[in-house]
Amino acid sequence: MTSSRPGTVTFVLGGARSGKSRFSENLCLETGLERHYVATGQIWDTEMADRIALHRTQRGEGWVTHEEPVDLVGTLAAIDRPDRVVLVDCLTLWVTNLMMAERDVADACADLVASLSICKAQVIFVSNEVGLGIVPDNKMARTFRDHAGRLHQNLAASADRVYFIAAGLPLTLKG
């Protein structure tokens, strides 16, 4: 499927600590465009604060960082320009944030995917694959898995390129 939108959308999926963020950052560097990083993580405890600080350090300089836990569509619209590459890391944290804020997750996900049709920037989304493990033992975790799985399917269908990362190695699924 060839995209008719001005920008391109890349979706990078993988397990925890699979190397998907590093892979995505390298894709951004290869573009030569102005780099923007949209961080969806929120600091809930000292361990998460340490993780976020480590990500910032590993990413290095040359990035404009936008911290947005919920209004991803609005943030993307505000920074959307053809001379930019935007890395969104990560969608599973975003889904968690929506659930914790008691937002309509299905509508927010549909709005995100729909917004990509007019995107001018190159956008790279990172997310954790959550459907390869056991069925969660509680309703909230199952609901989260279902929301993430539907978002992943819809985003992958809309994306120009999709990669699955395992052990730091990319497998091209689309594009």
The two beta strands, 161-166 and 169-174, are: antiparallel
Catalogue the active-site residues.
55
Residue 155 and residue 114 in contact, taking contact as beta carbons nearer than 8 Å: no
Place of tokens 């959307």: 80
Residue 109 and residue 152 in contact, taking contact as beta carbons nearer than 8 Å: no
Residues belonging to the chain: 175
**Distance set, CA 49 to CA 40, 43, 54 (Å):** 13, 5, 9
CA distance 108 to 66: 19
